[in-house]
């Protein structure tokens, strides 16, 4: 039998790849499942693309999260973010390893219980309706700027207990910190200074004036000596940035997917019992997070047959794993009724997302409310004209221009 020639590895960056990375991932899974990719500043990393290898890497005890474990090439390349070197922002779960990680995570996950997040449902619905009222008479909108973006910002500010007057600043800072443009790195440094000062001020304020919010709860954990002062400020900072652009992309990618799948848009609009399965399939089919965050080998390990030396960085492609045909039948098809293995859009293992219940609530409410109020919603531009973020971590569109019959809500 003739064997298939691998040919040349497709480009793994650029507008074409950002718009549709899946053919390149198909090639990688087949011909180079743990692939060395070049990164800006001379750095490089191992990119893991198969589902089974992704599970192994995400849960591997010898792949650590602390940037201090990275080799010199990575350290010198400036790949890390400015806050990775500031103890008052960097001592967060996402950068932590055993034994600190389990302690931090146990303390914080309790604050994100599914029950607490369910209580957000009604507030999300009212916020979505409020956003719809602003633009529904226009007959057109950009669903990213006018809905997907402001909704998670408001909910995160509510949860943290951030005063109303501070929210405009947070909105601006979060946009820069989460920025999908590598070129914005200088601005990221300046904004990190502002955020660091702000987080300290917010924690001090909650100590003086406790309230029913997450920052007060974190201060309580410090008082009980469960978290250190640096861990509290780092955790507040991580919560301010981690749930924002990810949820924007879930709402944006979800609406875009359903605009192209009218049968399922109709289901989401008319049968609330299908919403959970539809959002799960959006997470698999058009995931908001391209790659999990950095991991570094603390001793030589083998992943998918590839030897990874001490200090070498590993990225796990969540998008590729979630389209692995060894695990998902016809992965390029959108099918909310599929059975079998679960997607890993929220990661896997010890660092799996703590905010997943919140994102599911926001995604379900925003997507279904928009479809219900605007039944003839359609894309206002050809899908090829949409601009995708060129981010190494996120996957979403900058704008989602839509049209519909103008109406008063």
Note if the bond before 99 is cis, omega within 30 degrees: yes
Residue 105 touching ligand HEM (CB under 6 A): yes
Residue 238 touching ligand HEM (CB under 6 A): yes
Alpha-carbon distances, residue 109 vs 113, 188, 299, 358 (angstroms): 7, 28, 29, 12
The pattern of x and - marking residues 32 through 61 that bind ligand HEM according to CB under 6 A reads --------------------------x---
From candidates 149, 173, 346, 389, binder to ligand HEM by CB under 6 A: 346
Stretch that binds ligand HEM, among 7-15, 219-227, 234-242, 365-373 (CB under 6 A): 234-242
Whose CA is closest to 191, among 175, 215, 167, 168? Answer: 175
Residue 359 touching ligand HEM (CB under 6 A): yes
Residue 367 touching ligand HEM (CB under 6 A): no
Rounded Cα–Cα distance for residues 16 and 398 (Å): 15
Give min distance, CB of 5 to ligand HEM, in A: 34
> Contact 399/379 with Cβ under 8 angstroms?
no
From candidates 54, 90, 199, 250, binder to ligand HEM by CB under 6 A: 250
Residue 292 touching ligand HEM (CB under 6 A): yes
Write the burial class of residue 384 (CB in 10 Å: 0-12 exposed, 13-18 middle, 19+ buried). exposed
Rounded Cα–Cα distance for residues 191 and 203 (Å): 18
> Contact 334/285 with Cβ under 8 angstroms?
yes
Stretch that binds ligand HEM, among 80-88, 162-170, 191-199, 341-349 (CB under 6 A): 341-349
Nearer to ligand HEM, 136 or 143 (CB): 143
Rounded Cα–Cα distance for residues 323 and 302 (Å): 23
Residue 247 touching ligand HEM (CB under 6 A): yes
> Contact 402/259 with Cβ under 8 angstroms?
yes
> Contact 295/218 with Cβ under 8 angstroms?
no
Residue 354 touching ligand HEM (CB under 6 A): yes
Contacts of 102 (CB under 8 A, 6+ apart): 350
Rounded Cα–Cα distance for residues 246 and 226 (Å): 28
The pattern of x and - marking residues 296 through 325 that bind ligand HEM according to CB under 6 A reads ----------------------x-------
Residue 239 touching ligand HEM (CB under 6 A): yes
From candidates 290, 343, 351, 395, binder to ligand HEM by CB under 6 A: 351
Alpha-carbon distances, residue 224 vs 91, 98, 228, 239, 354 (angstroms): 18, 21, 10, 21, 22
Give min distance, CB of 408 to ligand HEM, in A: 31
Residue 150 touching ligand HEM (CB under 6 A): no
Residue 161 touching ligand HEM (CB under 6 A): no
- List contacts with ligand HEM (CB under 6 A): 58, 93-94, 105, 156, 238-239, 242-243, 246-247, 250, 288-289, 292-293, 318, 345-347, 351, 353-355, 358-359
């Amino acid at each position: 039998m003739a064997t298939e020639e691998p040919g040349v590895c497709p480009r793994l960056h650029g507008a074409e790849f950002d718009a549709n990375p899946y053919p390149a991932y198909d090639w990688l899974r087949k011909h180079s499942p743990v692939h060395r990719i070049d990164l800006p500043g001379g750095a490089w990393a191992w990119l893991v693309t198969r589902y089974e290898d992704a599970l192994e890497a995400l849960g591997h005890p010898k792949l650590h999260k602390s940037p201090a474990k990275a080799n010199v090439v990575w350290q010198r390349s400036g790949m890390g973010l400015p806050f990775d070197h500031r103890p008052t922002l960097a001592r967060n779960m996402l950068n932590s390893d055993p034994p600190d990680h389990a302690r931090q995570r146990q303390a914080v996950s309790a604050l994100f219980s599914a029950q607490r997040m369910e209580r957000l449902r009604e507030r999300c619905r009212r916020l979505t309706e409020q956003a719809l009222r602003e633009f529904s008479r226009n007959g057109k909108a950009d669903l990213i700027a006018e809905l997907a973006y402001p909704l998670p910002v408001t909910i995160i500010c509510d949860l943290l207990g951030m005063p109303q007057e501070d929210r405009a600043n947070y909105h601006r800072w979060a946009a820069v910190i989460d920025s999908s443009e590598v070129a914005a790195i200088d601005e990221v440094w300046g904004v990190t200074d502002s955020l660091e000062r702000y987080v300290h001020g917010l924690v001090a304020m909650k100590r003086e004036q406790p309230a029913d919010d997450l920052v007060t709860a974190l201060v309580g954990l410090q008082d009980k000596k469960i978290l250190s002062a640096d861990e509290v400020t780092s955790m507040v900072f991580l919560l301010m940035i981690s749930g924002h652009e990810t949820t924007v992309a879930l709402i944006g990618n979800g609406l875009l997917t359903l605009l192209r799948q009218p049968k399922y848009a109709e289901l989401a609009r008319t049968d609330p019992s299908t919403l959970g399965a539809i959002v799960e399939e959006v997470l698999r089919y058009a995931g908001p997070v391209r790659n999990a965050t950095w991991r570094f080998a603390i001793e030589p390990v083998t992943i998918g047959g590839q030897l990874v030396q001490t200090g070498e960085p590993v990225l796990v492609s969540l998008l590729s794993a979630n389209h692995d045909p060894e695990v998902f039948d016809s992965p390029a098809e959108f099918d909310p009724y599929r059975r079998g293995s679960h997607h890993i859009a929220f990661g896997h293992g010890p660092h799996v997302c703590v905010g997943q219940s919140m994102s599911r609530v926001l995604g379900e409410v925003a997507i279904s409310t928009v479809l219900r109020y605007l039944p003839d919603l359609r894309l206002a531009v050809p899908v090829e004209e949409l601009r995708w973020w060129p981010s190494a971590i996120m996957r979403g569109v900058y704008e989602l221009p839509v049209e519909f019959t103008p109406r008063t809500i």
